[in-house]
Amino acid sequence: MTGIVAMKGCRTCCAVVAALALAVAACSGDDELDRQGATDPVGTVDPPAMSPAISTPTAPSPSTTAATVTTSVDTTTTTTTTTTTTTTTTTTVAPTTTTEGQTSTTAPTVAETEVELGRSAEGRPITAIRRGTPGGTTVLVIGVIHGDEDAGTAIVEALRKLPVPAGIELWLVPSMNPDGQAAGTRQNANGVDLNRNFPTNWGPLGQPGDWQYAGIGPVSEPETKAMIALSEQVRPDLTLWYHQDLFRINPSTGVDGEIRRRYADLTGLPILEVSGGTYTGTASQWSRTIAAEGGIGFTVELGKRLSADGARQHAEAVLAVSGEL
């Protein structure tokens, strides 16, 4: 059990601190086709069916459990202070230069904050890195959900190095399935397909170890709990989940469809339907329910391999579409 405090500045500044505590359990897995086709229609998502073990104080709690990050911003004086009490978090705060006339619009830039969201079943940390403008357009990127599909980690690494355009708040999770990644399996250490374990449209599927085993219930896995807790805290406007190796992005409609097409254009991926599985409890469906106003969340199916240039191209595409939200 690990507690973290994630913070998100309000859009007009002032002090905002939120706290959450999560639990994380096990993992282990195998390969996949993350199809979200006919059984994953946009707009038919159900509200989250459960409440993960999250503690979310509404008032600032400067120091609680394992990781605590507190940011205080005074818009009048544009001073920013940050204190961090955690063994896993390093925080650098670089206040944006304030010039006359911009006092009310500038926001501090957090160069990088790393927090531990929780632990996998085998005790591996699941971490998130925050970059960019607190309170900006919030974008969450998950490099790995299926342990044997880890090309997305290179995209996360590229996103840690590129400058983040003003107005974008990035949350980067290199891997939400470190045990599956270590074992080279799709599932977590409990044999659960984490991409069938989310609460939206969850349904029982398979047996432990099956490629689509959905777990004993929605959000039964610590890795799922960790991601839900983070998402409920930061409410991303856009969530991207990387998979392999179908080399496509599933089509969608509305703004969600436009962003997918834009991302596809920037990366050379075709827009093609993903099909062949049972798409209950998928992460991308759930992530479209999390934002206050029409959240966008989709799976990017990379190819079998991703070059360094390809990873950078994807990272630049993430930033580009984020700036267009």
Residues of this chain that bind Zn ion (CB under 5 A): 32, 34, 146, 149, 243
Distance in Å, CB of 144 to Zn ion, minimum: 9
Q: Which amino acid appears at position 235 of this protein?
A: R
Residue 249, both tokens: 């992005």
Give the residue with the Cβ less far from Zn ion, 146 or 248.
146
Give the residue with the Cβ less far from Zn ion, 21 or 151.
151
Other beta carbons within 10 angstroms of residue 103's beta carbon come to 13
**283 Cβ contact partners less than 8 Å away, ≥ 6 residues apart:** 142, 145, 194, 195, 198, 227, 241, 297, 299
Residue 23, both tokens: 């639990």
DSSP string, 53-79: S----SS--SS-SS-EEEEEEETTTTE
Cβ distance 22 to 233 under 8 Å?
Answer: no
Give the residue with the Cβ less far from Zn ion, 20 or 283.
283
Question: What's the distance, CA 126 to chain centroid?
Answer: 11
Q: How far apart are CA 190 and CA 215, in angstroms?
A: 8
- For the chain, give the number of residues: 325
Distance in Å, CB of 125 to Zn ion, minimum: 22
Q: Which residue is nearest to Zn ion (CB)?
A: 243
Q: How far apart are CA 246 and CA 277, in angstroms?
A: 13
Q: Could you tell me which of 143, 111, 164, 112 has the C-alpha nearest to residue 316?
A: 164
Distance in Å, CB of 34 to Zn ion, minimum: 4
Distance in Å, CB of 58 to Zn ion, minimum: 36
Distance in Å, CB of 215 to Zn ion, minimum: 16
Distance in Å, CB of 154 to Zn ion, minimum: 16
Burial 69-79 (b: 16+ CB within 10 A, else e): bbbbbeeeebe
Give the residue with the Cβ less far from Zn ion, 243 or 288.
243
Give the residue with the Cβ less far from Zn ion, 120 or 187.
187
DSSP string, 122-135: TS-EEEEEEEE-TT
Give the residue with the Cβ less far from Zn ion, 170 or 176.
176
Distance in Å, CB of 219 to Zn ion, minimum: 19
Distance in Å, CB of 179 to Zn ion, minimum: 16
